[in-house]
Chain A
Amino acid sequence: MTDTSPSPSSASQRALRRRVTGVIDAGIELGDNALLQIDPARWSRSPVRWLRGWWIVAQFAAQMLVLALSPSSYRRSQLPVIYRQLVASTAPLLPGFVALSALLSLVIIRIVIASAAAYGLSQYALDVLVRTLVVELLPLLVALYVALRFTMPSGQEVAGMRQQGVLHALWRAGGDPARDLLLPRVLAGVFSVVFLAALSAVLSLVMTYVSLYGFTAWGFAAFTRAVGQVFTPAATLILALKAFFFSLVVAMLPIAPNPRYDGAPLSRRDEISQLGRVFVLILLIEVVSLVGNYY
């Protein structure tokens, strides 16, 4: 259980500590480095707290994975909740995302084809398009889109529930907040990322074909062969793994307990730092996949 509903006795202690650290922070921000001596724990607290925060996130992710893989999470009684989150995660995003990805694909396809033709290298245009658009750019776009449109608001909602003690209440009422509230959201996030990535990949491939050959079928064999040359077994595996890890990061990190959370009310700053963390992790995965593809 990751529920961190506050108890009344510890609340006053935390308020006092926050006031003290607030004073010290203000002093340090004014340039008085000597104030660091008042609270020596600050020297070491930051990295330790950072590690502890990520440890909590990792624990949450492991718990969600176990729940997602256990059949009891998919009992008939659970299905309506999962379905609801599934539809909520994907259906409202579809029109906007399809429009956005189609526009982006069209622009990039035009740029690549035009510049390849200008340099007399049009035979490589398809290869470049598949590599940049389908393999690299669209999964990244999907991950960020889903994070912004679904999992971040969803995580905000969960954080609110945590603060209001809703999860605790559910626990006391005999329910399992992790299975009933959190897992459907995580599953919906994963589903949304994978679904939209596959959809946009197919869409951009179709648009690439139409841009290159027009509405005819005679280029299909050559197109298929060129696509097949890009998707070597290694590249396909890396793409699948990348999409999977993107979806995990996007689905879990916003819903996981905030590693910086210290009992203060949620603010916009927390949202932005949460988005930053998601973005950094996605970029990290992207870099690793690039290393795997091109080294």
Chain B
Amino acid sequence: MPEPIDSVPPVRHLEQKARLLLLAMVLLVSVAVGYLMVARGAFERTQQVVLVADDSEGIVVGMSMTFSGFPIGRVGRIELSPEGNARIIVDVPHKDAHWLRTSSVFTVESGLVGGTRIRAFTGVLSDPLLPDGAERKVLRGDAAAEIPRMVASVRELVNNLGALTSQDAPLNASLRNLQLAAERLNGPRGAIGVLLGNDADSRRLSQALERTNALLARVDGLVLRADGIAQRTDGMIARADQQVFGQDGVVSETRATVVQLNGLLSDARNSLKKVDAVLVEAQAIGANTREATTDLGSLRTEVEASLRKVEHLVNEINRKWPFARDAQIKLP
């Protein structure tokens, strides 16, 4: 043993101290390793959710997927699918898997500052649980991608504004005209001057107004005369009233006439009853006449038959008496 040349002074309980240090070292390292394994999720039982995205930019293995701001899973693997999409395989511990339902929506968002975030949203927590290994399309919200479009829109807007406010822009000209109009509005001719533009027209308008006033005065006179006529008409109507509805008026006479007419009507009714009786008689006569007519028919047929027999007889005699006739045809 090289005791004498070792310059370290002797230490009491050396072996215990050394063993303590070694133990502490083993403890430290094993605690650190165990903690890191817990932190990396080595002891969690997980299920997988496959998120399909157009591109996996900003997504790194180990990043969290959050639900309501709480991390419930971490990206375990990123791979390229045969269709050219990025497949992000997220490991979700079983104890957190109940937040994910079949109706859950997954988004990948990248802000202006900071990293990309994967978030899960579940609207209906009573839907069936998301099965292990389920594939979901991920929606992408990219603030940075919006910027170029926004800048283009803003540039267009600024150009339009510039065109609007330039020296020879229509808006500027309109404003100048408006200012001119306001000045004339405040001038001696006022709004009429603004409406008509030149002084001659506005003067004519004043004249027209004066003449209109005179016309109105004459219309007033006319109206007064019309009033007189109306009063006279009133008198005429009163007189007509008296003539029509007065003591010996048309109405009382008409009433007497109507009484007489009633008497006439009852007389006429009696006459008509007599006419009815006559008609009944006439009907009976008609019936008799019809019967006579049918008898006449049969008589006629009998006469016709007798006549035909007579004709036949005459024809027979004519045949049997041929000499009495000259049957020769003499040609000229």
Which residues of A are at the interface with B, using a C-beta cutoff of 8 A? 77, 79-88, 90-91, 121, 123-124, 157, 161, 166, 170, 175, 180-181, 191, 194-195, 198-199, 201-202, 222, 224-225, 227-229, 231-233, 236
Q: Is the CB of B2 closer than 8 A to any CB of chain A?
A: yes
Which single residue of chain A is at the shortest CB-CB distance from B36? A231
Say whether, besides A124-B114, A228-B40, A87 and B2 are in contact (CB < 8 Å): no
Cα distance A191–B29 in the bound complex, in angstroms: 12
Q: Let me know if A121 and B18 touch, CB within 8 A.
A: no
Q: Let me know if A83 and B28 touch, CB within 8 A.
A: no
Max count, chain B CB within 10 A of own CB: residue among A77, A82, A232: A232
Q: Let me know if B39 and A228 touch, CB within 8 A.
A: yes
Say whether, besides A170-B5, A195-B24, A236-B36, A228 and B41 are in contact (CB < 8 Å): yes
Q: Let me know if A224 and B35 touch, CB within 8 A.
A: yes
Q: Let me know if A225 and B39 touch, CB within 8 A.
A: yes
Say whether, besides A180-B2, A222-B71, A229-B64, A85 and B14 are in contact (CB < 8 Å): no
Q: Is the CB of B256 closer than 8 A to any CB of chain A?
A: no
Would you mind naming 24 contact pairs between A and B with Cβ atoms under 8 Å apart? A79-B15, A80-B14, A81-B2, A83-B14, A87-B14, A87-B17, A87-B21, A88-B11, A90-B21, A123-B114, A124-B114, A166-B5, A170-B2, A170-B5, A198-B32, A202-B32, A225-B71, A225-B74, A227-B35, A228-B41, A228-B62, A229-B64, A229-B74, A232-B61
Cα distance A117–B62 in the bound complex, in angstroms: 25
Q: Is the interface of A mostly helix, strand, loop or mixed?
A: helix
Q: Is the CB of B22 closer than 8 A to any CB of chain A?
A: yes
Cα distance A87–B1 in the bound complex, in angstroms: 18
Cα distance A180–B179 in the bound complex, in angstroms: 107
List chain B residues, Cβ under 8 A from A161: 5
Say which residue of A121, A181, A202 sits within 8 Å of B113 (CB atoms).
Answer: A121
List chain B residues, Cβ under 8 A from A201: 32
Cα distance A228–B38 in the bound complex, in angstroms: 8
Query: Given A80-B1, A123-B114, A231-B36, 7 other A-B contacts at CB below 8 A?
Result: A77-B1, A79-B15, A88-B11, A121-B113, A180-B1, A181-B5, A233-B40
